[in-house]
Structure 1
């Protein structure tokens, strides 16, 4: 079953037109961004055809990198998850590495070796930062969950001083407040 059909079923079943409109709009925005990226890539690549040698390689790598930047960011916005954003950052790092490596192609000897090592170091740094940022966000989410659970336990403990309907109302209020 394709995604569009599944979305129509969900929209029909829930009768939530606002949700469906937002999902369709998000999908349309993503599709438009991908098409725009491909169009811009083809245009940039056609400009590269007039160039020869290493500058042409750099030009093509830059065109590809621009497409990857646009598509990766659009995909991350569409999926709207931490994993998608981290993956986009990794894809962008790979594309930027390819550009830097292409720029190294015009160099020779030690200069080329240093250039390639620097390009690799930049890629490793970008990927490492993406992974670290993901871990930081996950740790903050976990810490926030722990804080909420602790506050919920305090609220429920306060309810223990009450009895009957008052206690039931207090517990219900605590559950509502802390999303339990």
Structure 2
């Protein structure tokens, strides 16, 4: 029975190792993915040019944020560490905050202040959760 446990453990370790290696990304794959992300960003930003006023600003912020999140996810995929996983969550929180702040610009006076305060509070909660403190 002890031999069965050892064999099962060895098989599981081999499978986990093979899975990790299959998940690994070469430098060339990483570079190609990074170029794709940058091209997508340029295209998204160009699509914003047809818009006007704050809609254009929101569109540009969304494009910038998407690029930031995708690059963080790429780094986490290329070098999976707890730090890189946290950076993905922080990039998502920062993007949501930046877009929310920009959307608040459509409002005026107290409504805008409340909108921005709500966005900041949500951002703070998300960052705290990303750091494992929430």
Which residue is equivalent to 2:74? 74
Question: What is the CA distance between 1:72 and its match in structure 2?
Answer: 0.7
Number of residue pairs matched by the alignment: 115
Question: Which of 1 and 2 has greater Rg?
Answer: 1
CA distance in 2, matches of 1:118, 1:28: 42
CA distance in 2, matches of 1:77, 1:66: 16
TM-score norm. by structure 1 comes to 0.58
Which residue is equivalent to 2:15? none
- Contact persistence 2:24–2:77 (CA under 8 A): no
Which structure 1 segments of 5+ residues have no match? Answer: 1-17, 136-180
Which residue is equivalent to 2:45? 45
SS at match of 1:112: helix
User: How big is each residue's C-alpha offset from its partner over 1:44-86, in whole Å with a ceiling of 9 and x where there is no partner?
Assistant: 1111111111000000001111111111111111111001111
CA distance in 1, matches of 2:122, 2:29: 31
Which structure 2 segments of 5+ residues have no match? Answer: 1-17
TM-score norm. by structure 2 comes to 0.77
CA distance in 1, matches of 2:53, 2:74: 32
